[in-house]
Amino acid sequence: MKQIYNFEKNNPPCLNERYLRKEAERRKLQRQTILLTIASILSQMVVLLFGILMWQIQPVVTLTCILYVLTAVLSSGVIVIVFTKKRRSIA
């Protein structure tokens, strides 16, 4: 069978157990972050839906829920902006 890669031309990358564990931990943390983000979005949607459903019964509860969701979304947006700017200045 004809070889299409020259394995003797370049050295393979240096892999050790510490690097592989670090990479696995990074992927695990990324997965946890994604799940936490999805959970927070779903909980905000539940609060907003609850507020909308309470419109006829308690308009004050609706206003409170909408203000809570807006505050949470704006504050999380600010946090995202701050951390992405901080990451760019570090790198």
pTM of the model: 0.69
Q: What angle do CA 69, 38, 76 make, to 5 degrees?
A: 45
Q: What is the pLDDT of residues 28-86, one digit of tens each?
A: 999 998 999 999 999 999 999 999 999 999 999 999 999 999 999 999 999 988 888 87
Mean of pLDDT values over 13-39: 90
Alpha-carbon radius of gyration of the chain? 24
Most distant pair of Cα atoms in the chain: their distance: 76
The predicted pLDDT at position 12 comes to: 67
Query: Measuring CA to CA, which residue among 52, 49, 47 is closest to residue 62?
Result: 52
- State how far the Cα of 28 lies from the Cα of 30, in Å rounded to an integer: 5
